Chains A and B, each alone.
Chain A
Amino acid sequence: MKRLSLFLLTNFLIGMTFPIFVSAAACCGGGFAAPSVIAGDDKAQLTTSLSQTEIIVDNVNDQGIWTKWDTHQVVKNFKIEGAHIINDRWQMGISVPIIQRNFLNQTYSGIGDIGTTVGYEYLPDWNYNPYRPKGLGYLQITLPTGKSKSESTNGGLDSRGQGFWALGVGTLLTKSWGSWDAFTSIEAHRSLGKTIYTSQLQGELKPGYGGNWGAGLGYNQKDFRYGGSVTWSYEDPIATEQNGIQIIDGSIERYATAAASISYMASDDWSGTFSYTDQTLFGNPINTSLGRGVAVQIQRRWSR
């Protein structure tokens, strides 16, 4: 019974902390929309989170050179996520972020890219196998409800996402051993192009593939989980075409987000997480901005 409780606790809390790490904001538009998935054995869950990220390194250029000023953008992200099972192993979810960006007394806010998810538990852990991980695969469609940085006419301050339709697939593998747990996740997506016409740019934006790859480790003690993780993010260059001729090549974007978190399971239905993220620690970032931030998250679950 104790083992079962610990197993459930671990899965709740891994699932709760997982989305924070892949949604950390990078340059201008922010990261790719994070999936909303039920990693535990619940019927439904509703999660709200609030994060604040300060851009520490304002620019890492396409040669990997870091430059920073003494004034930085601050990005706040309030997100509501919901997920519900469809049947025993299928689930669906939605993630709605509201993003506020502040720089030099200018503040812009609005809805970010909405992510919708359909998931399938392809590796169930009904018998609590000591070695085999629990595996969840998902298909994600991202709606371009957030303005892309290329559409912005004030340097991306009013940009709130990638701003492209995107189709992605991913998987989340979780495993616990006693008080310890680990997860790894991998996600790949393809963003679709769009035509824009602003005072600064006219043409067709041609994004490509992107992805996230992360892994984390956690230690569980009573109702608490202490965790750490690293997630690498990559986006293909966003080229710009005018009349079929490529006028801007763009550059790949990549960065890594490290996170440390502490979660508390107040009851079987409620839990909360506080996390700290830092994008300056790992990876070989290119063509991005790097930030540090904190986030609080509250989750309500409904058991089966």
Chain B
Amino acid sequence: MKNRTKNFYVTFPLIHFILVAAFLFGCAQPQYIQKQSSDSGSVSGQELQADCSIQFQNSKICLMWRWESQPTNTVMGSLILKTYRLNQLDQTAVETDMTSIPDLILWMPSMGHGSSPTSSERIDVGTYRMNNVFFIMPGDWDLKFQIHSNSEKIDEAIVSVFIN
């Protein structure tokens, strides 16, 4: 009888606690973010400023970028990447080629996965187009512009964006 009482006092409160916690205190409280019409405004700002706020890590060459065609949740987009250095006289942008055409890797750092592969082409001096840009889901993404030599990454610049 003593054991039964002891078991009762252990088992019943335990299950009771779990169920109460689950159904009363564990309800999800969604915080949805408001969808923005476009984030191209801030992107255009980067290009206009050309203040070398983003650089490749090793070469220290500056970059700016803008959407040429902003991707949606069903259609791939493209972006224009410009690489430049600052003129020593007046700090204006001087477009500069990279040692090879940059690759673009789309990476979601919090979840640890990428998206579908992109392709890139050179348009002019220091000007590249990145095609097939598509984000597999909304959220915080990194645009990783990488320079490769013999399949090995030798330089990289990372830009964080929020896709919604």
Contact = CB atoms under 8 A, between A and B. Distances in A.
Partners in one complex: yes
Interface of A: 27-28, 57-59, 61-62, 64-71, 103-104, 129-133, 149-150, 152-157, 159, 175, 182, 184, 199-202, 205, 215, 217, 230, 232, 238, 240, 248-251, 253, 256, 280-285, 287-289
B117 A153 contact: yes
A70 B73 contact: yes
B39 to A, nearest CB: 13
Contacts, number: 133
A38 B29 CA distance: 36
Looking at chain A's contact residues, the main secondary structure is: loop
Interface string B137-157: 111100000000000010000
A213 to B, nearest CB: 8
Contacts of B29: 284
Contacts of B109: 248-250
Interface in B15-37: 15, 18-19, 22-23, 26-33
A281 B73 CA distance: 25
A285 B28 contact: yes
B4 A131 contact: yes
Contact of A230 (B23, B31, B113): B23
A210 to B, nearest CB: 14
A67 B15 contact: no
Contact of A250 (B19, B28, B32, B110): B110
Interface residues on B, range: 35 or more
A66 B138 CA distance: 9
A199 B117 contact: yes
A102 to B, nearest CB: 13
A64 B32 CA distance: 9
For A64, A184, A200, A201, the residue with the greatest tally of chain B CB atoms inside 10 Å of its CB is: A200
Given A281-B28, A282-B28, A66 B33 contact: yes
Contacts of A283: 26, 28
A59 B26 contact: no
Interface stretch (B6-14, B87-95, B123-131): B6-14
B112 interface: yes
Contact of B4 (A27, A130, A182): A130
